[in-house]
Structure 1
Amino acid sequence: MDDTPATGLFSLAELRPDTLTGLVRRSAALHRDPRAHDRPLDGRAAGVLFTRTSTRTRTAFTVGALRLGATPVTYGPDDLQLNTGETLTDTGRVLGAMLDLLVARTAGPLADLRALARAGRLPVVNAMAAEEHPTQALADLATLTTAFGDDLTGIRLLYVGEGNNTAVALAHALAAVPGAHATFASPAGYGLPETELKTATRRAGTTGAVIEQIHDLGLAPGHIDVLYTSRWQTTGTRKADPDWRESFRPYHVDRRLLSRWPGAAFMHDLPAHRGDEVAGDVLDGPESLAWTQAAMKLPSAMAVLEWAAPTPH
C-alpha cells in the first residue's frame, strides 16, 4: 500500500490505484484474521459523526476504532452546536483541537466534509455523502476478492438500479482495476451523474477498464461475473416523479433476471427492500454475497482508519 500520509478519504477518484488496491487487500486480510494488527490507534480519539441513519457503517467504524485501540467519540444528529447555528468552520476548528480523526456522514454535500477537514486540520473519512459512498466500494471490492481471488483484473460487473452514491463509488473503484468492465443500467433520468461518469471513464482509460452506462437492460452484456443492485430509494432522498416505481420495475432482480447470467454472483449494499429492487430468494440465495459484504464493512473500516490516522509525533 502507498504509505503517503493520508489527509482523509473523500472520494475514491482521488486515490491512486495502488493505494486503493492496498486498502482492498488490507480489508480482506483483516476479514480473514481480525487480530492481524498491533492496535495502531492506541491512545487516539476518533470522532464518529452520523447525522443520517446507519446500521453497518456506523457500527463498523465504532467497533473498528475500538479494536484498533482508539477511543470513539460518537455524535448523533442532535448532538453538536451546528444545530444552534455554529458554523462548519468553527465546529471543525474545535473538533480538530481534540480529535485525531473524524468519520462523518452528514446531511450535507461532500464539500461540508472537506470544510471540516480544512478548518480542523484533521483527517476526515467520508462515511457517505450525497455524491459518493467510498467505504462501501472498498468493502465491495474486498468482498469480490473472497469470491474471485486477490487479482480482480478483468472482473465484469453489471449494476442495475439508481445511479446513487454507491454506484458512483463503484464506478471510481472499478475504473482503477485493470481490464475491469462495469456496466451501469438505470432508468433514464436516474443514472450516474455525468461529471462522475466522465471522471471514472478518464481513469478507466489509463487502466484498460471500461465504465459504461445504459438505460435498457436489453443492451446489458451477455457475460458478467457479478450482478449488483442497491435500494431504489437512496437514504435521505426523495424522487420528484410520483410514478418513479414504474420506471424502476424492469430493474427488479429476481430469479428470472439473474438466470440471464448463469454462474454470476449477486451483490447488494443493504439495507434491502425485498420485493422492490430484489426478491428475497435472490438476496438469501446461494449466489448472494450480500452478507459477506455486510461483514466486510468492519475490516474495511479498520483498514481505512489505519491508513487515515495521522502518524503520532
Structure 2
Amino acid sequence: MSSGPTHSGPTSPFAHHKENPMRHLLSLQDLDPATVRHLVDRSVKLADPDRRGLPLAGRVVGIYFGKSSTRTRTAFSAAALRLGASVIPYGPDDLQLTTGETWGDTARVMSGYLDAFVLRTNGPLEEMRELAGAARIPIVNALSEHEHPTQAIADLATLREHFGDLSGRHILYIGEGNSSAGALAMAVAAVPDLRLTLVTPEGYGLEPHIAETVKLLSGGSDRIREHHDLGSLPTGVDAVYATRWQTMGVSHGDDSWLRAFDGFRVTRQMMTAVGGPDTVFLHDLPAMRGQDVDDDVLDGPDSLAWRQAYHKMTSAMAVLEWAVLGGPTELTAPRA
C-alpha cells in the first residue's frame, strides 16, 4: 500500500487508548487487536436473542445524528433497547452545538445524564476526540468523516458467522476509499492472516493518513493492499465488497466524477472472474442498484448484504455492552 504524508495524530496507533482508560470507540486505531476481535466475536454471539439478556437495564444511551441515517441510527437505537437501556435521540438541531456551545461543554453536561453517547457527525474525528476528552461516559463514533468503525465490526462479524473463521480469508473491496473502506482496513489489520485488497478509482482511494495508519497497524505487512487497476483484480477471493460511490449522497464536486468509476460496478461476470462457488457478496448499504452493483448480485444467493445490515445492530450491541460494562455479560440460562 502506498504511503502518504504523516498524519498529525498520535505516533502510536494505540496512544489514545493507553492515555484514556474510558472505553470510547472513536477509531479502530485506538483499540488493541484483541479488543477488535472480541467485538467481532461478540457481535456474532449476540445474533442469538437467547444470549443477550438485559445487561443495560436502567441505563440511558443518548444517540445524536447530525445527518440522515436509516441503518446505523435504527441499529444503535434497537441495540440499546434490546439490551434494556432507554434511548434519548437527538437530531441535527436539537443540541446547543448549533448556537456555539463547545463539544467539551456538551460532554460535561451529557456526562451527568447519560451512560453512553453515540454520535454521527460526518465531520472530523477531532470533534469527537474533544468530546471524549471532556466526557465521563463512553463516546461511540457512529460515523465520522473518514471512519465508520462499527460498520467494520459488522462486516467482519458477517464473515465470521458465515465462514466460521476469518483466518486465511481474502476480501476484495471495489469502489471508493470511503469511511467504510478505511474502517474495514483497520479492522482487517487486527486479524492475523486475514487479507484485504482495495481496488479504488484513481483520485478516490483511501485518505493518505488512513492508508498510513493501516500500514502502521498491520506492521507493514502486505496483507492489506490498495491499487487502482481493474485489470489486476485478485482471483480466488472469499468475499467481494461494494459500497455506494457517493458516501451519504454527498456530491464529489466534480461533474465528471462518475467517469472515474467506469468498470467498478460489481456484476455477475466480475463475481465469477474473481471468486469461486463459495464467494460471498457484501455491501454496506444503501446500494445504488445498476450503479455500484447489479440487482442479480445484490439479490443473489451469494449476497450477505442483508445479514450484514442485521449485524449493524449486533455490532452496536457488542460495542455498547463493552463500552458501558467493560465486557460481555453471559447468561447462565436462556432468557425466558
- Normalising by structure 2, we get a TM-score of 0.87
| Percent identity (aligned) | 51
The CA deviation string for residues 239-280 of structure 1, in whole angstroms up to 9 with x for no partner, is 132111111021011112111023321100000010110011
Aligned residue in 2 for 1:186: 200
Structure 2 Cα separation of the partners of residues 262 and 111 of structure 1: 42
Deviations 1:150-191 (A, max 9, x none): x21111011010000000001001111111221110111100
Match of 1:259 in 2: 272
Structure 1, 162-171 or 250-259: larger mean CA deviation: 250-259
Unpaired stretches in structure 2, ≥5 consecutive residues: 1-19, 327-336
Q: Please name the residue that 1:139 is paired with.
A: 154
Work out the CA distance in 2 between the residues paired with 1:236 and 1:112.
Answer: 22
Q: Indicate if the aligned counterparts of 1:136 and 1:166 stay in contact, CA closer than 8 A.
A: yes
Secondary structure, counterpart of 1:102 in structure 2: strand
RMSD of the alignment, in Å? Answer: 1.6
SS at match of 1:205: coil
Task: Kindly state the Cα deviation for residue 51 of structure 1 after the two structures are TM-superposed.
Answer: 0.9
In 1: Cα distance, 2:271 partner to 2:122 partner: 35
Q: Does 1:37 align with 2:40?
A: no
Which amino acid letter does the alignment assign opposite residue 37 of structure 2? Answer: T
Partner of 2:237: 224
Check whether the contact 1:179–1:209 (CA below 8 A) recurs between aligned residues.
no
Does residue 93 (structure 1) correspond to residue 105 (structure 2)? The answer is no
Query: Is residue 73 from structure 1 mapped to residue 84 from structure 2 by the alignment?
Result: no
1:204 aligns with 2:195: no
Aligned match of 1:50: 65
Q: Given the superposition, is the C-alpha separation of residues 157 and 280 from structure 1 closer, same or farther in structure 2, using an over 3 Å criterion?
A: same
Question: Which of 174, 182, 185 is residue 168 of structure 1 equivalent to?
Answer: 182
Rounded Cα–Cα distance in structure 2 between residues aligned with 1:93 and 1:209: 43
Deviation (angstroms), 1:209:
6.2
Q: With structure 1 as the length reference, what TM-score do the two structures score?
A: 0.93
Q: Are the counterparts in 2 of residues 45 and 71 from structure 1 also a CA contact under 8 Å?
A: yes
Q: Which amino acid aligns with 2:156?
A: L
Count of aligned pairs between the two proteins: 305
Flag structure 1 segments of 5+ consecutive residues without an equivalent: none
Question: CA-to-partner distance for each residue in 1:23-60, whole Å, 9 max, x for gaps?
Answer: 111100011x1231331111111100011111111111
CA gap of 1:285–1:120, structure 2 versus 1, over 3 A, is same
CA contact (8 A) 2:76 2:316 kept: yes
Distance 2:73 2:50 in 1: 20
Aligned position for 1:247:
260
Greater displacement, 38-47 / 278-287: 38-47
